Structure 1
Amino acid sequence: MTLKAILAATTLGTMATGAVAQNFDGVSFGVGVTNFGLSLEGEYAVSPQVGVRGMVMGGLSFDDEFDIDDATVDGEADLGGVALLADFYPLANAWRLSGGLFFSTSEVTGTVTDGLTTYDGEINFKNEVAPLLSTGFSTEVASGWSVSGDIGVIVSSLEVSSDDNTGTVQADIDELNADLEDVPVVPFIGVAVSYSY
């Protein structure tokens, strides 16, 4: 290899290393837990007061009885979702306000019993893509390591559905959904540990 080729390779290698370091500057990755399951998170600090964040949640599944208004669902809940958020730190400290979109992958399936009416059904978010609003914190606890937390709401009610098209079942579903619309939000809670590059 000629001296010219060695110098060119060294220069390109140095530029590539600098580009990689620059690309990861202000980026953090984390793991956590939310009321929709375990979470993987990535965040990019646009400025000291503004960040963008993505979360993938899931892995939480359990069998139980769930009360929906006056009805009981005996079935399985599979919880999960994806969130894309913008974080604003108004005081340039640990406190933040966040807003964005939640894409639900959650589903509850089972047997619905409401009085004398029983049928197989599902409960999902009425809006599979819904606004997510939260407040929380992100604070550094060691060099590069941070702990964060969020509490907020997903702006969507829940909705019952069934493949059973009999009049009695559909009337019961309509009544349940009318009651569920009175609660237009679903709680969101999460904590995470992350590492910043």
Structure 2
Amino acid sequence: MFKMKKTVGLAIGAVVLTTLSGTAQAFDKKVSVSAIAGTTGFGADASWRFHENLAVTARYTGGLDFDTDFDEDGVNYDADFEMKASSVKMDYFPFGGRFFLSAGIMMPDIEANVVGTPDDDSTYEFNNRTYTAAEIGSVVGTATVSDGTQPYVGLGWRSSHQSGLSFFSEFGVVATNVDVSLSTTNGFENNDPRLQQDIRAEEQSLKDDIDKLPVFPVAVLGVTYTF
């Protein structure tokens, strides 16, 4: 009985290996290069589809800057965002065609320089305490939405199984790790521990507002050529 099971197991293994070998030989490996634009900027990627159902993709985007403003506890903040990101990921084509699921790592650098001024042009209120604009000057600092190495998941459409020119799209999310750092232009907090504590409370308030979104959306459109 043991010899029969062993023989059957070897036969099944041989069939599986033969099938995989036949699939690998049947699929013509392709390389795709793309010019892209999206929520993390403008750039390019390269993808190697080494199997009917699998590809490895590397990407870099940057150069997208935009300004926005928002209010927080009577302070108007002007934020100047800079966006750039690189990623390496595995793409899985479950049906062997254009549609794929993607997972990997992204190295985003999504950060804003912020400048805050009081809405009434005269007083700030930090942590329920009031300070004059003459004392504080302006509030300046940085607000980081995501940086370092973060997990990424997405889905998309790419004709990397066929040679030629085509359109390409992908939609995904990258994890955020929000951080806020503030100071005043007059440096008054350096000599006032109470103001320093209140500035830290303002940082936490801003961080809590930004951190309501645990992921940053990544949307990409582009033109790709497959060799």
Q: Answer yes or no: is 1:171 the counterpart of 2:201.
A: yes
CA distance in 1, matches of 2:118, 2:200: 12
How far apart are 1:184 and its partner, in Å?
Answer: 0.9
Structure 1's 104 and 148: CA in aligned 2 closer, same or farther, altered over 3 A? same
Pairing partner for 1:45 from 46, 49, 65: 49
Structure 2 counterpart SS, 1:139: coil
Mapped partners of 1:126, 1:172: distance in 2: 20
Quote the residue 2:222 is aligned against: 192
**C-alpha separation in 2, matches of 1:86 and 1:72:** 42
In the other structure, the counterpart of 1:133 is: 153
In the alignment, does 2:120 pair up with 1:90? no
Please say if 1:66 is aligned against 2:69: yes
Are the structure 2 counterparts of residues 48 and 114 from structure 1 closer, same or farther at C-alpha, using a change threshold of 3 Å? farther
Q: How far did residue 139 of structure 1 move? A: 2.8
Among the aligned pairs, what percent are the same residue? Answer: 21
Q: What secondary structure does 1:54 align onto?
A: strand
Q: Which moved more, 1:180-189 or 1:157-166?
A: 157-166
2:36 aligned residue: 32
Note if contact 1:154-1:186 (Cα within 8 Å) is conserved in structure 2: yes
Shift of 1:181: 3.0
Does the 8 Å CA contact 1:87/1:97 hold for their aligned counterparts?
A: yes
Aligned pair count? Answer: 171
- Cα distance in 2, alignment partners of residues 95 and 53 from structure 1: 14
Displacement of 1:109: 0.3
Classify 1:65/1:31 alpha carbon distance in 2 versus 1 (closer, same or farther; 3 Å): same
Separation in 2, partners of 1:68, 1:58 = 27
Larger CA Rg, structure 1 vs 2: 2
> Which structure features the higher share of strand residues?
1
State the distance in 2 between where 1:68 and 1:151 align: 30
TM-align CA RMSD: 2.4
Q: Using a 3 Å threshold, how does the CA distance of structure 1 residues 110 and 176 change in structure 2: closer, same or farther?
A: closer
Relative to structure 1, the CA distance from residue 114 to residue 187 in structure 2 (aligned partners, 3 Å threshold; closer, same or farther) is farther
Secondary structure class of the residue paired with 1:183: coil
- Given that 2:174 and 2:215 are in contact with CA atoms closer than 8 Å, whether structure 1 keeps it comes out as yes
CA pair 69-150 structure 1, distance change in 2 beyond 3 A: farther
Aligned to 1:101: 105
Q: Which amino acid aligns with 2:214?
A: P
What do residues 97-135 of structure 1 show as CA deviations (whole Å, max 9, x unaligned)? 011111112321021358725511111135521111111
Judged with a 3 Å threshold, the aligned counterparts in structure 2 of structure 1 residues 41 and 126 are, in CA distance, closer, same or farther, namely closer
CA distance in 1, matches of 2:51, 2:208: 44
Between Structure 1 and Structure 2, the one with more helix by share is: 2
Seen in structure 2, the aligned counterparts of structure 1 residues 94 and 114 have a Cα distance that, compared at 3 Å, is farther
Structure 2 equivalent of residue 123 of structure 1: 143
Segments of 5+ residues of structure 2 without an aligned counterpart are: 1-28, 126-137, 190-195
**1:90 is matched by which residue type in structure 2?**
P
- Do the aligned partners of 1:104 and 1:125 also contact (CA within 8 Å) in 2? no
Structure 2 letter corresponding to 1:65: T
Secondary structure at the counterpart of residue 77 of structure 1: strand
